[in-house]
Structure 1
Amino acid sequence: MKILGIIPARYDSTRFPGKPLIDLAGKSMIQRVYEQAKKASSLADVVVATDDERIFKAVKKFKGNVIMTLPSHKSGTDRCAEVSKKMIGFDAIINIQGDEPLIDPKQINLLANCFNDISTELATLVKKIETDEELFNQNTPKVIINKNSEAIYFSRQVIPFIKGVSTDQLLKTHIFYKHIGIYGYRTTTLGIISKLKLGNLEQSEQLEQLRWIENGYTVKVALTKKESLAIDVPADVNKVLEALKK
């Protein structure tokens, strides 16, 4: 099994423009993500996929692999699909979030292991929800899993609905899972799903993975206990800097 790690990175983030190039204790965020990904033993290679010349030059400066992609892509999945056509010979692709500078290489390996099962088309990670804040945060997608460790549905709302239980007792009566935003695709499947049209479920929830489920694809799920630490807005930077000191 030959797996390629791709880190989609764009400069024009709505909430935090230029964040791939912010300085985090002497290294850019994209460099830290890249270096963490390179530690994953499951990956045969790692490449940054960007549509911005500034990011391209920054990756070249620290001698990383980088490839320019079209500026028209609407998602990291689309960007990964373009790269997979240019870098052939890989059985699967891992889409690594470019805003998680402390990503654990073991999480990448955990996701990659899903493809040891030849029936796996798509894969992602989930984590048990520990707090009410996470449970009721609409920016934290929740996921329901079947007995085969496959995602049934993703939602920004609390799922499943627990009848007859007050909201402050939900975590005491049921195990809820949140989605960790790292994806794996079998290369042949990636080429197909990148051509799928926007569906009703994705349009309603604004969650890309619902497009795959709505079209009948199975998303394999692996459970992680590791908490991810992403930089979504400038206020998140200090959290990462504090973590880097530990």
Structure 2
Amino acid sequence: MLTDSALASGSDRVHAALAEVDPNGAHDVVINLQGDLPLIEPSSLTAVLKPLEDPAFDIGTLAAPVTSEAERDASQVVKIACAFGEDAVTRALYFSRLPIPWGEGPHWHHVGVYAWRRHALERFVSLAPSALERRESLEQLRALEAGMTIGCARIDHAPQGVDTPADLEHVRGLV
């Protein structure tokens, strides 16, 4: 579905689409899957819902292990500061284009798929872009700065995203 190109973020576009296809609010959860992840596995779309099994989370998203220094250091790869224990779901503490957190230990690649509780999405789009969101160019920081909670579901690997012309050519060769 095409939405107004003037909308500031993917989440703003999902909200506009949801208002059009479900104006009566029959659905209380919506998944935001944008076109830059054409190779995402169907199991990941199930996994992104896992955090919402906990009522403490407003939003669900995905995290995969960073597997190389190049991936860790690439500014187009968004990283999540989070710590998985035995559970496959944990809380996102911060998102950045830089390698975070500092020091030894795993780094996590953010896979930009979101499962929104409808009321959380409505709250999110009512907020002005935040200072950290503008600084990092990452819309999910608006939610964190507003006190919303984002749960991360761990998946085994990040799908190939399409962020550059080279990525597009690579993906075209795979499909």
Aligned to 1:233: 164
Q: What SS class does the counterpart of residue 170 from structure 2 fall into?
A: helix
What are the superposed Cα offsets for residues 160-193 of structure 1, whole Å, 9 maximum, x if unpaired? 222xxxxxxxxxx411111111111101110110
Whether the 8 Å contact between 1:202 and 1:209 is mirrored in structure 2 is: yes
Aligned to 2:97: 156
Q: Which consecutive unaligned segments of at least 5 residues does structure 2 have?
A: none
Aligned-partner Cα distance in 2 for 1:146–1:235: 32
Q: What SS class does the counterpart of residue 70 from structure 1 fall into?
A: coil
Matches within 5 A, 1:59-78: 69-78=3-12
Number of residues of Structure 1 aligned to a counterpart in Structure 2: 168
User: Does 1:85 find its partner at 2:19?
Assistant: yes
Aligned-partner Cα distance in 2 for 1:146–1:226: 16
Q: Which consecutive unaligned segments of at least 5 residues does structure 1 have?
A: 1-48, 51-68, 163-172
Distance change in 2, residues 1:138/1:206 (3 Å): same
Aligned to 2:126: 195
Shift of 1:232: 2.6
TM-score, structure 1 normalization: 0.64
Aligned to 2:53: 116
User: Larger Cα Rg: Structure 1 or Structure 2?
Assistant: 1
Matches within 5 A, 1:205-244: 205-244=136-175
Whether the 8 Å contact between 1:84 and 1:187 is mirrored in structure 2 is: no
Aligned-partner Cα distance in 1 for 2:128–2:49: 27
Q: What SS class does the counterpart of residue 222 from structure 1 fall into?
A: strand
Distance change in 2, residues 1:238/1:195 (3 Å): same
Shift of 1:70: 2.8
The sequence identity of aligned pairs, in percent, is 30
What is the identity, as a one-letter code, of the residue corresponding to 2:143?
W
Q: What SS class does the counterpart of residue 80 from structure 2 fall into?
A: strand
Aligned to 2:38: 101
Cα RMSD after superposing both structures: 1.7
Q: What SS class does the counterpart of residue 149 from structure 1 fall into?
A: strand
Aligned-partner Cα distance in 2 for 1:71–1:155: 25
TM-score, structure 2 normalization: 0.88
Aligned to 1:204: 135
